[in-house]
Amino acid sequence: MLSASTIKHFPASPGVYLMKDDAGKVIYVGKGINLRKRVTSYFTRSGDSRYQIRFLMNRVKTIDWIVTDTEKEALILENSLIKEHRPRYNMSLRDDKTYFSLRLDPTEEFPRFTIIRKVLRDGARYFGPYSSATAARDVLKELCRYFPLRHYPLRNCRQRKRPCLYFQLKQCSAPCFGKITPQEYAGLVEGATLFLSGKDREIVRIYRERMTAAAERQEYEAAGRYRDLIKSIEMTVEKQKVASSGGDYDVIGVVSAGDHLQISILFIRNGLLLGSRSYYPEWEFEPEEGVASFLAEYYSGEVIIPDGILLSVRIPGSQALAELLTEKRGKRVSIIHPQRGSKLELVKMADKNAGNAAQERQKRAEESGSILNELKDRLHLAGIPRRIECYDISNIQGRDAVGSRVSFLDGKPHKPGYRRYRIKTVGQSDDYAMMREVLFRRFQPDRAIEEKPDLIIVDGGIGQLGILSAVMEELGVNGIDLAGLAKSRISSGMHSSVIERSDERVFLPGRKNPVTLRQNSAALLLLARIRDEAHRFAITYHRKLRSESALSSALDSIGGVGVVLRKRLLERFGTVQGIRDASPEALTEVKGVNHDLAERIQRGLGK
């Protein structure tokens, strides 16, 4: 372990420091306005009992530094280095699900809204964020009731012989078939963007003027449409709850949850509460440090940056972060620690949401602990099965065979532990041999073994469990409990019309008869959920490979596409699906593809 004397030559200027282990791997990246003072603090915190600091400093062998001119440059460099090295002891949100936003590109002919995950600086307008695709689709569905913009890509629409079903439902104005003039369509786009921007009064004012003008021209049908639209907008606005006097803010609340922090973020758009989200950082942090690290990581991603960020705590480096976000957004961004008024009420609301999320997390943890303890007792396991892995196989007569592995940690899916395996050594339909290959690839001794699970489940009965036991014994892997989960069976007597369903059965090594858990018990439902997730994960991958095989066969059958051209297309677009999704113009950029062949390729691939 390093000592304080080894860093006496560090510069007393802004910069970034990189802590490395004995293998030279970066395990932590930090920044400081005074590098020497910041790094020295790690050696003088005698009372700092945070476990990640103890683990970190015990593993640090060398510390490198990079000097910058300003604190803002240090923040930018820190974010860049964290993305590059993904240090173990830095806060990371990379495994969290992304948000959804509505995107509208005003440069398109007849612009439309699309639901996207990534917010790019491409000149388009973005609205959101929404915490799920369902929420975004609900907003888009409501929007199209008032502003019937097109739903599909213009190219697809123009390939049709008549307008789509949405036109019949009056949720699309069918600009691709000339059912609306470009000027009228532009008015719908203007109204939709104003509506999403919260400028409801402006929409109503504009539409009242257009209604009056249409009535004066004796265009009573158009005037009636504007009247109905105004009424619908006013009714919708009445249902919405105003959260503040206006503006776009992300409001950050934080509470201490034991040794960790629970962070909550409220999305305020145009004075309305759009949604919320909670985070639970893996490491221990003081509130100020934790919120600062959270903001640096969160806003380094492709998210919508609001006018201001409201915080319940003061954080170090707030000015540098505000300058960085201002440059990234292209407009001024303020970081505020409010002391009074409506903004303070919003911060209190965010803190309350963080507290509720912490309580809910604690409740789920207690319930999960009870379920895992029940599994330990009922299945006679060596310990509490905190980390559970499950394996499954999917194929059709041996073709496009795949295996899957899912991982659950403390009763919840642990996505970093998910793996897909394409079967390489088994050519016929032999689930046992395929399972053996997957298990060998997971536990073979000549590769770096990941953290071992406490319990491994295979989907099946005694046969599959026997394969699992044999492979583990052959590889010399010990200390892991094993089980097989067999689905319930349906049977009926020869002379009876009554259909009976057996219970789900759990098979254990060395035991002939299965263990029968109480049906619909929490423990059995957890095992069934893990088994079903492994099956879903396997069959999704199998369908993808089967679809790619079908498309590949279709590509081979297209006249004019030989081996060389097929290779060029795959090198350019990555997959057959990528070729299918490409435009004819993009296809003609590949050597050997003219416009006629590009259209023939797309027809052959079913586009």
Question: Same domain for 330 and 468?
Answer: no
Residue-range definition of the domain harbouring residue 433:
387-538
Is 199 a domain residue? no
Least confident of 228-232, 371-375, 423-427, 517-521: 228-232
User: Is 231 within the bounds of a domain?
Assistant: no
Mean local confidence (pLDDT), 366-381: 87
The verdict on 427 and 511 lying in the same domain is yes
Q: Each residue of 314-368: pLDDT tens digit?
A: 888 888 899 889 988 888 999 999 988 888 888 998 898 888 888 888 888 788 8
pLDDT on residue 455: 93
Report yes or no on 107 lying in a domain: no
The residue from 28, 57, 85 where one domain ends is: 85
Instruction: Assess whether 409 and 490 both reside in one domain.
Output: yes
318: domain CATH number is: 3.30.420.340
One domain for residues 342 and 476: no
Q: Are 328 and 394 in a shared domain?
A: no
Looking at the structure, do residues 464 and 397 belong to the same domain, yes or no? yes
The DSSP line for 312-337 is SS--TTHHHHHHHHHHHHSS--EEE-
Task: Look at 230 and 438; give whichever has higher pLDDT.
Answer: 438
332 shares a domain with 392: no
> Cα angle vertex 524, ends 523, 529, to 5°?
100
Q: What is the pLDDT of residue 460?
A: 78
392, 500: one domain: yes
Whether the predicted pLDDT of 406 surpasses 80: yes
Average predicted confidence (pLDDT) for the chain: 80
CATH number (domain holding residue 588): 1.10.150.20
Q: Which pLDDT tens digit goes with each residue over 156-180?
A: 787 778 888 888 888 888 888 888 8
- Compute the distance between CA of residue 158 and CA of residue 155 in angstroms, rounded to an integer: 5
Residues 300 and 436 in one domain: no
Q: What is the mean pLDDT of residues 36-52?
A: 66
Which helix (H) or strand (E) element contains residue 477? none
Count CA atoms closer than 13 A to 365's CA, side-chain side: 8
- 415-469 pLDDT per residue, tens: 888 988 888 777 666 777 888 888 888 887 766 567 889 999 988 788 888 888 8
Of the chain, the percentage scoring pLDDT greater than 70 comes to 83
Percent of the chain that is helix, strand, coil (3-state, to 5): 45, 20, 35
Out of 32, 63, 85, pick the residue that ends a domain.
Answer: 85
Do both 314 and 448 map to the same domain? no
552 within some domain: no
Residue 76 lies in a domain: yes
Task: Report pLDDT for 332.
Answer: 92
Query: How many domains does the chain contain in total?
Result: 4
Task: Residue 66: give its domain's CATH number.
Answer: 3.40.1440.10
Among the residue ranges 73-82, 129-138, 436-445, the one predicted with the least confidence is: 129-138
Q: What are phi and psi of 337, to 5 degrees?
A: -110, 85
What tokens appear for 23 in the block? Answer: 């293998």
Does 43 score more than 90 pLDDT?
no
Q: Answer yes or no: do 395 and 506 share one domain.
A: yes
Same domain, 532 and 391: yes
Q: Is residue 100 domain-resident?
A: no
